Structure 1
Amino acid sequence: MDLNQRITAFSKLGLFLNDFLSNTTKSELALADTQSLQLQFAEVLKTATRENAWFTPEHLQMALSSWSETLTETSLKNWTSTYTFDTNLESKRVAVIMAGNLPLVGFHDFLSVLISGHSVLAKLSSDDKLILPFLAKVLTAIEPLFENRIEFTEGKLTTFDAVVATGSNNTARYFEYYFKTKPHIIRKNRNAVAVLTGNESKEELELLGDDIFRYFGMGCRSVSKLFVPKDYNFDSFYKAMFNYKDLLNHHKYANNYDYNKAVYLMSLFPILDNGFLVLKEDESFSSPISVVFYERYESLDKLKEYLDKHEDQIQCIVASGFHQKEVDFGQAQKPKLSDYADGVDTIAFLLKI
């Protein structure tokens, strides 16, 4: 199976997702049981929501929609065109340890391993163990040659040639020790930050709300820290966040909000609060659910130096005209195929193992 065959298969998987979301059937898929697969997939998603309350139907649709838009022949070819794929590449077995904080958060690694010509041995998080195996089933129905290249396991990883693992800072230390003899990518905790100047428009601040609240702020690309001018007034910011007031209707989010607010108040920490989002002045990059930390700056140049110094803790910077690697407001949760987690080029790694 060559690269073009692999690209075609994944682009058809994108069509399947698009068909599912639009409740239609496209003839390009050429699958006899497309309607049956769509019905099965709907049940899988319902079960995923029942088993993990953070995976709301809305957020599942966001994740599926994002991948349906990404898995096109054009985007896949553009992405892979920057690499040299050896047609005689020896296929290796790559173990992928996936996180479960967001729906399909491990799909990019799954895609990268298979598009590179390797086989994937996936260890799923218990929080997200249903959706990817079903999509793998659809992928093998589209391209049967993938069948022997995809394996999911719940047990101890054995017989593999390389590892891509995502976890916390604590688990990363374990991963680095356990997999030290294998080629590996080990990812740790990272967060997104936003830099505000006070000149942002209402529309930009509303888009920042997407960067903060999408997936309840649980992603590594979710903005968990704001950097604001010394005299910044949060009134405009909080007005722009008002569109997300209904988050309080989600019981798990509401429980986190009530708990974190109570802890800060009992500890006599000064906070800002609008009834569903707590702002706390704090030097840390990673904030709890329902809380965003902030820090005041005096100089943008010094702030840039500070963020560059701590780049190993930052997944992306949301800003406008501040940094050469910045992400536009509203785009933090919409990474391109080439936006690799922790800045480590997964494809380049896979092509040299």
Structure 2
Amino acid sequence: MSHRSSVHFGNRCRLAAAGLAVATLAAGLAVVGLGGPVTASQRLCTLHQQPVPENSYGVTTGTYLEPGQSVQLTGGGAIWAGVWLTGTNGPEGWFNTSASSAYPLPGAREYSLLARANGGWSYIGQYGTVTNTGSTIVPLQLRTNDNIPGNGSGAFTATYTTCYTDGDFRRAGHANGVRAMASAAGRLYAVTNDDKLWVRDPVPQDSVWTHIGQASGVRALAGTTTQLYAATTGNQLVVRGLEPWNVPWTAIGHAYNVTTMTLLGGKLYAVTSDGLLWDRDLTPADINWRQIGSAVGVRALGASATNLYGATTDNNLWLRPPAPVASWTYLRRAYNVTGLASAYGYLFASTSDNHLLYRTIPATG
């Protein structure tokens, strides 16, 4: 991304880029040999006991399942279905009955324990498994197979265990419509699809995003302790302060075909639509960018204090040092990521299904 660069490089720039591209071929994400995770981490498990009242039309738990993830549930407790001259029943439901089309799960036992991760409800009863068969992260939901919730009493209890490895992504709240994200001065900043700029605290639970201005045409974002840098659809590099109100963006240079951007060690790093990785100094002037390697398929670029992270369109997370011609190392799966930013030992990710995720940064990252 030199001063003349874009997809339409001048001949001299093309030759330089081609030479470096050959040197970096082995480091490209498309051809790199996939290594294992950077570090082995401790696996932590949590026991959940979720009440499922008879009068509820559905309980949305705080457990979110990634695509393909399953959870095993054990049902307990008892409800009275509200039908006169009947007693209470456990999560297995009524014996010798088959629910009609008026029930949440027709064909299953009436007044039994149900669960779902997406799509329709599944019978759980005293013991069962539910799987997220979709392509997005979804919450685990529970309810009774009751056609008239609220006319009875009691509650089932769904008991299940979730486990994660320190370093796995977990949900930190919502990030609706985020197309670019960055950290600056210890806070998270995001640009949404309606060209608005937002800020929130980098905490591992849901928090309020505050609207602080406009970001028309901004498609990539990076931040320092005092400023936000952005690459626009008009191929400009622009900058603004961190004031919590709308202030103008000032153009300071070019940023041709940049799709995602981050900051590390006093330099801007950017990925362009042709799958190349570039860097440049923060000098507030129109200076050349330097090509430093390949970033094939990287949709979101982020950084820790020492390394770059890349989330790719095939739902994987990679790490590499910022040095030219460095190799990318595979970390783990990372679904539907649109933005990456780090703060206080966490790597945060926004997703196209409107979640904000977080994971710890490994000791090597």
Same fold (TM over 0.5): no
1 or 2 for the larger relative contact order (CA 8 Å, sep ≥6)?
A: 2
Given the two structures, how large is their TM-score scaled by the length of structure 1? Answer: 0.23
Given the two structures, how large is their TM-score scaled by the length of structure 2? Answer: 0.22
The structure that is strand-richer by fraction is 2
